[in-house]
Amino acid sequence: MRTSPYLAIALAVVSVSFSSIFIRWSESDAITIALYRLTFASLIILPFAAMERTTPLRTISRRDLAFMAGVGIVLASHFAFWITSLKTEGVTVASSVILVTSHPVLVAIVSHFALGERVSTPTAVGIGLGMTGVAAIAFAGASVSPTTLAGTLLALLGGVMAGIYFLAGRQLRQRVSLPVYAFVVYATAALTLFALAAATGALLPEGDLSTEFLLFLAMAVIPQIGGHTLYNWSLRFVPAAIVSLSLVGEPIGSSLLAWLLLAETPSSLVAFGGIFALTGIFLTAYFGAVGGRGSTASPRDGGER
């Protein structure tokens, strides 16, 4: 039995759980945070992409490059929606991260109705539980204020973008190596966010510049590279059950860190909805993996948080 992939997944889950904490600590605009995080991540990955020999960057077809650029735009939208959600008054880390991690449920729904894929009974139960939890969290946001509801819905939109990101990248990742794929997608997302930041006047960080750049670098190194890259490597070797369990690890880890470091406790309704949503995410991801890809999970593209 391999031990290193399991340790790698545990470290990756802890790493990505810090993402929302770093975002909350930053005083900059949401678009600014997303821009610098992905810019730093692109620069870190660039040498690995340049040295890649399996699928060198220069051999990628224009069609695949265009497709990856489109995925990068989707990733930029994901970060813009989710980070804005975390910056919205009244939105808790728990509710935001749970909603943005609900993409397995959203992907299962789209795959069934748009792609005609069959859904097993356990997966259908997971979808039902997941959507019940999502509805409860949205209702909790609405009970606070219209602004909080809007922030909650932005997190859900971030989850929708994450679902599109995974669906769109699934085929590409079968023929393009991870460093090359990640660099093109991250760089395109950074360029998209640069244009958005320039249009909205959010190019420059706010607050203490040294602190802000340190946080941006931490976001790129810890959750983006150290979290998701490590996650991608380890998921080649572990069963679907571990993959599914790891999906619910980030919301739990983020919520615990928010409680410890931000003194933030979710309301009882958010906690109730979270239990349903996380159970639904686990069931949907597990039975979807078993039904669609066998007992061992294929690598998952990192980069949503």
Q: What is the pLDDT of residues 115-132, one digit of tens each?
A: 777 888 888 999 999 999
pLDDT category at 227 given cuts 50, 70, 90 is: confident
Pull the structure tokens for residue 52.
Answer: 């890649």
How do residues 173-202 score in pLDDT, each as one tens digit?
Answer: 778 888 898 899 999 999 999 999 999 999
3-state secondary structure (DSSP) of residue 296: strand
Beta bridge partners of 239: 296
Average pLDDT on 253-260 reads 94
Task: For residue 296, list its beta bridge partners.
Answer: 239
Burial 211-236 (b: 16+ CB within 10 A, else e): ebeebbbbbbbbbbbbbbbbbbbbbe
Q: What is the dihedral of CA 31, 32, 33, 38, to 10 degrees?
A: 90
- DSSP letter (8 states) at residue 58: G
Return the axis-axis angle of helices 4-17 and 240-261, rounded to nearest 10°.
40
**Per-residue pLDDT tens for 96-107?**
999 999 988 888
Is the pLDDT reported for residue 297 higher than 50? no
| Average pLDDT value for residue range 53-58 | 84
Task: Band the pLDDT of 65: cuts 50, 70, 90.
Answer: very high
Measuring CA to CA, how many Å separate 73 from each of 77, 164, 165, 168, 228?
6, 11, 9, 12, 19
Residue 205: both structure tokens together: 């960080």
Q: Is pLDDT at 229 greater than 80 in this prediction?
A: no
Q: How far is CA 174 from the centre of its chain?
A: 20
User: pLDDT tier at 3 (50, 70, 90 boundaries)?
Assistant: low
Contact present, 141 and 152 (Cβ < 8 Å): yes
In the chain, the amino acid numbered 64 is D
Q: Give the model confidence (pLDDT) of 269-288 as tens digits.
A: 999 999 999 999 989 888 87
Say how many C-beta atoms besides its own lie within 10 A of residue 18's C-beta.
22
Predicted local confidence at residue 238, as pLDDT: 73
In 134-236, DSSP assigns E strands to: none
SS3 262: coil
Residue 239 three-state SS: strand
Q: Average pLDDT of 21-32?
A: 97
Q: Which of 91, 103, 75 is nearest to 154 (CA)?
A: 91
Plot region of 204 (φ>0 → left; ψ -120 to 50 → alpha; else → beta): beta
Residue 292 confidence class, pLDDT cut points 50, 70, 90: low
Can you give the pLDDT at residue 34?
Answer: 97
Of the candidates 88, 151, 93, 125, the one whose C-alpha atom is nearest the C-alpha of residue 271 is 93
SS3 91: coil
The torsion region of residue 90 among left (phi > 0), alpha (psi -120 to 50) and beta comes to: left
Rg of the chain on CA atoms, in Å: 18
Region 218-226 average pLDDT: 92
